[in-house]
Amino acid sequence: MSMAARRASSGHRHDGHGAADQERAGPRAIWTGTLSFGLVAVPVNLFPAVRPAGASLRLLAPDGTPVQRRWVCSEEDKDVPWDELVRGFEVGKGYVVLTDEELESVAPRRSRDIDLRLFVPADELDPFLFERAYVLAPGGESVKPYRLIAEVMEREGKAGVATFVLRS
Amino acid sequence: VRRAEKVDVPARAMWQARLAIGKHRIGVRMYAAINDRELHLHLLHEKDHARVRQRLANPVTGRTVEVAETRRGVEVEPGRFVVLEPKELSALEPEPSRDVEVLRFVPEAALDHRWYERPYYLGPAAGEQAACAALAAALHQTGRQGIARWTLRKREYAGALRVHDGCLALVALRHADEVIVASDLEAPGGRALEERERKLAHQLIGALTGHFRHEQFQDEYRQRVLELIERKQRGKTIELVRYRAKAVGDDSLADALRRSIKQAG
């Protein structure tokens, strides 16, 4: 589960950009959900507020082909296909093997809720706590609940602390 | 939000640096302010539980490519690469330096958290306690932060020199082209909000207002994985139970606000 604290002031609507803007790699919603607090539900779209920049270099074989990364078993010295890999947690000299199903069973359930649990004075949040910023834009037809919460939070200098589940 | 796992007393300096402010030089030690708390799971071969290692392969022949014989390239169009020779790449590398050069001072509010990439603490080098304390006091009193740049492990950084809980801190900043500015987006329009709704929203936010405490926001997933490992280690069978998220009601806005205030109060 991941968390974010956000300020209403960073909530702006994403413009319906045309093809030209798309080519410029403008912001794109990565997630659609509901901002919920009390019994109020505000439909929202989530945009990354930061994007990766810079050219990425690829590793090439001497003949110019991009190389592929493969997994090799340290016992057999043979390539291991992806579906024969498991995850293990090192304990002493061995491993406790965790299957995908087991990891899935303790993973937070997929949820469409950004669960606002608490409002705090915005300046009470230590800037060192911030990890990654996203922008919430109103989703769906009605923008009124969104504007209401954004306006009141901004006016009162409040930040909401919410929990939400976002899977990469 | 990062979890409450900041380092209070950093164990070991990661870099011996020198703050360069005008003609002044102050020796400092840089410490990580963020702990890496990822759970480290290793990839194993299912059959024999042996660790797997990575190899670089030519996808056509399947043959191993040694790191020394690889070259680096930028894809300019699908399947076409411009190759950069090691000599060309090393010519682009910044000169190594111990200096954290402070270029200017700006008001603290000039940068918000979107720019922050990673914070570090700066502790005084031997004999530099007084200079560091004076700098921290001056930043605190003037409400300013320094804009600095430095080079570490062949990477150029821009950062903010700040005071954090009385300690000098350096926050590495994101580059300008990484941050999406609000002017790229458009604020939502619509008819004016009703005073009645505003008042209800104010009441509800007030009812849900408190103080932020780290302990309330722990990484529950990490804890559950650790418990799972412990149970498996003791040879217990694992019952697969799903975590549930609560459902949200479908109300008119004013009704929802009113009922929420009642619930919160």
Q: pLDDT tens for residues A91-133?
A: 888 899 998 888 888 888 778 889 898 999 988 888 888 888 8
How many H helices and E strands in chain A?
A: 3, 10
Nearest to B45 among A61, A85, A127 (CB): A85
Q: Express each pLDDT in B69-100 by its tens digit.
A: 999 999 999 989 999 888 888 888 888 999 99
Higher pLDDT pick, A82 / A6: A82
- Helix/strand/coil for A102: helix
- The minimum CA-CA distance between A100 and chain B, rounded to whole Å, is 12
- The minimum CA-CA distance between B55 and chain A, rounded to whole Å, is 5
Query: What's the pLDDT score for residue A22?
Result: 38
Mean pLDDT of B215-222: 80
Phi, psi of A110 (to 5 degrees): -55, 125
Can you say whether the dihedral through the CA atoms of B229, B234, B235, B241 is positive or negative?
Answer: negative
Which residues of chain B neighbour A42 with C-beta distances below 8 Å? none
* Residue B67, amino acid: V
> Mean pLDDT lowest for which of A79-93, B188-202, B237-251?
B237-251
Which residues of chain B neighbour A52 with C-beta distances below 8 Å? 178
Nearest to B6 among A113, A128, A146 (CB): A128
Chains A & B: contacts with CB separation below 8 Å: 331
Which residues of chain B neighbour A147 with C-beta distances below 8 Å? 188, 190, 193
DSSP alpha helix (H) spans, A42-167:
100-106, 144-156
Angle between helices B253-264 and A144-156 (to 10 degrees): 40
Which residues of chain B neighbour A53 with C-beta distances below 8 Å? 175, 177-178
Distance in angstroms (rounded) separating the CA atoms of residues B192 and B127? 61
- The minimum CA-CA distance between A39 and chain B, rounded to whole Å, is 5
CB crowding B110-142: b at 16 or more within 10 Å, else e: ebebbbbbbbbbbebbeebeebbeebbeebeee
Query: What's the pLDDT score for residue B15?
Result: 94
Average pLDDT, chain A: 80
DSSP alpha helix (H) spans, chain A:
19-23, 100-106, 144-156
What residue of B is the nearest CA neighbor of A82? Answer: B45
Q: Which of B49, B179, B184 to probe the A interface (max A CBs under 10 A)? A: B184
Q: Output the CA–CA distances (angstroms, integers) from residue A17 to A21, A25, A82, B94, B130, in the order listed.
A: 6, 10, 39, 38, 54
Nearest to B212 among A54, A101, A120 (CB): A120
User: Residue A127's CB: how many other CB atoms inside 10 A?
Assistant: 18
Distance in angstroms (rounded) separating the CA atoms of residues B22 and B20? 6
For A8-133, strand residue ranges (E) read 31-37, 40-48, 58-60, 68-73, 85-91, 94-98, 113-121
Q: Which two tokens stand for residue B30?
A: 């840089």
Distance in angstroms (rounded) separating the CA atoms of residues A96 and A68? 29
Q: Which two tokens stand for residue B156?
A: 């150029």
* Residue B164, amino acid: H
| pTM, to two decimals | 0.73
Nearest to A12 among B55, B187, B256 (CB): B187
- Is the pLDDT at A17 greater than 80, yes or no? no
Indicate yes or no: CB of A143 within 8 angstroms of CB of B53.
no
Q: Express each pLDDT in A25-56 by its tens digit.
A: 456 788 999 998 888 889 999 988 888 776 68
Burial class, A161, CB count within 10 angstroms (exposed 0-12 / middle 13-18 / buried 19+)? buried
Q: Are A57 and A71 in contact (CB under 8 A)?
A: no
- Is the pLDDT at B160 greater than 90, yes or no? yes
Indicate yes or no: CB of B184 within 8 angstroms of CB of A15.
yes
- The minimum CA-CA distance between B223 and chain A, rounded to whole Å, is 9
- Is the pLDDT at B247 greater than 80, yes or no? no
Query: Which of the 8 DSSP states describes residue A79?
Result: B
What residue of B is the nearest CA neighbor of A107? Answer: B221
Distance in angstroms (rounded) separating the CA atoms of residues B43 and B49? 9
- Is the pLDDT at A90 greater than 70, yes or no? yes
- The minimum CA-CA distance between B47 and chain A, rounded to whole Å, is 7
